[in-house]
Amino acid sequence: MTDLEKVLQELTRYQHTLMRFSAREKPDGTVELVIEVKEPMPGVHIYYAPLHPRDIAHTQFPWTFQRYLYDCLHDYVVELFVHTPQSRDAPPEPA
């Protein structure tokens, strides 16, 4: 089984109401996790996260992959904020 096949097989265990998960092989042969919203909206990008071959080959891959997927989901959702208090163009704090 190739690394891509192993990741795709693991992804069949996950379903989400808002997000779609897939994986693709990059030109250098490494695998990339792909997370995107099911209903595309303007300004919402697709999230790509590399998977190291060593991690895919590890016997604990299902567990480490779950943690990685959840971490990536967290990062992706945070990236979708339009404004935060740390934003350069955030409105001033109320007096």
Q: Is residue 42 part of a domain?
A: yes
Q: Is residue 86 part of a domain?
A: no
Left, alpha or beta for 15 (phi > 0: left; psi -120 to 50: alpha)? beta
**Distant-in-sequence, close-in-space partners of 17: CB < 8 Å, separation ≥ 6:** 38
The residue segments making up the domain with residue 57 are: 3-79
Q: Which pTM does this prediction carry?
A: 0.86
pLDDT per position as a tens digit, 54-85: 999 999 999 999 999 999 999 999 999 888 88
Give the chain's domain count.
1
Q: Is residue 95 part of a domain?
A: no
pLDDT per position as a tens digit, 17-44: 999 999 999 999 999 999 999 998 998 9
